[in-house]
């Protein structure tokens, strides 16, 4: 009886070791699949977005401010970020920072953003937000340029979360909202009614005015002001899910 007990106890470490090895192999397999998928999506995205006829408006004002030594925090709604991926490749020399959630979808988006020249910081309001915000503060202080999705990663749509204001106040950066629109697009049945321009659509990327956020002003007032400024540019929502316009 004692020998049998000894055999069972001595076998458990081997079983646990095999289990850990299986978990490692599974994670490595998922990582490789995710990496390959992100590369494939990036190729498709670049080819697809090249069909867009893009017009950029009001870029000079904040770009001059950035080049003169100021710090700029670009921000948009989750609904509209897709159309900006291609033109934002041009900002790669500034080594801009971007916060992306730690979700599985975020893994793919983070790799795509990295390939576009953005310095990715992983975290969100629901997971790892404090550490990610501190890293964003550090990187924005170094490069002078960052971007933030104000209602991501899960909404609610049209509600500016506190992170963008905290980041601007901590670094002295001005907030520059930007909006994208298309003459023909699909709107998906998602919490944000995500917009995907149709092939060969005319896409407009429009930057708003510079909005300072001094740290001695009321925090909530600044958030409400930004929300009131940006909300009129949310695109129409469909009553029937994904639609075209």
Any residues with CB less than 8 A from the CB of 234 and at least 6 apart, and which? 77, 79, 157, 158
- The model's pLDDT over 94-152, given as tens digits with 9 standing for 90+, comes to 999 999 988 777 787 888 888 889 999 998 766 667 889 999 999 999 999 999 999 98
- The model's pLDDT over 231-244, given as tens digits with 9 standing for 90+, comes to 999 987 544 344 44
Give the homologous superfamily in CATH for domain 52-244: Tetrapyrrole methylase, N-terminal domain (3.40.1010.10)
**Percent above pLDDT 90 for the chain:** 64
Prediction pTM value = 0.81
Any residues with CB less than 8 A from the CB of 75 and at least 6 apart, and which? 147, 148, 149, 150, 164, 175, 176, 177, 178, 226, 230
What are the extents of the domains in the chain? 1-50, 52-244
């Amino acid at each position: 009886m004692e020998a049998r007990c000894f055999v069972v106890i001595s076998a458990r470490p081997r079983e646990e070791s095999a289990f850990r090895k299986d978990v490692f192999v599974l994670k490595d397999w998922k990582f490789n699949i995710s990496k390959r998928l992100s590369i494939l999506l990036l190729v498709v995205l670049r080819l697809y977005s090249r069909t867009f006829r893009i017009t950029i408006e009001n870029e000079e004002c904040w770009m001059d401010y950035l080049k003169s030594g100021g710090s700029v925090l670009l921000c948009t709604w989750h609904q509209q970020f897709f159309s900006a991926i291609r033109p934002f490749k041009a900002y790669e020399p500034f080594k801009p920072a971007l916060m992306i959630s730690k979700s599985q979808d975020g893994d793919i988006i983070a790799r795509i953003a990295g390939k576009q020249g953005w310095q990715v910081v992983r975290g969100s309001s629901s997971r790892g937000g404090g550490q990610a915000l501190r890293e964003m503060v550090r990187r924005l202080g170094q490069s002078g340029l960052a971007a933030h999705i104000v209602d991501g990663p899960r909404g609610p749509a049209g509600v500016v979360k506190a992170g963008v204001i905290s980041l601007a106040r901590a670094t002295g950066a001005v907030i520059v909202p930007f909006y994208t629109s298309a003459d023909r697009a699909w709107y998906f049945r998602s919490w944000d009614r995500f917009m995907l321009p149709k092939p060969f659509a005319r896409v407009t990327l429009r930057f708003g005015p510079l909005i300072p956020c001094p740290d001695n002003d009321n925090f909530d007032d600044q958030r409400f002001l930004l929300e009131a400024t940006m909300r009129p540019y949310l695109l129409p929502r469909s009553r029937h899910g994904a639609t075209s316009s």
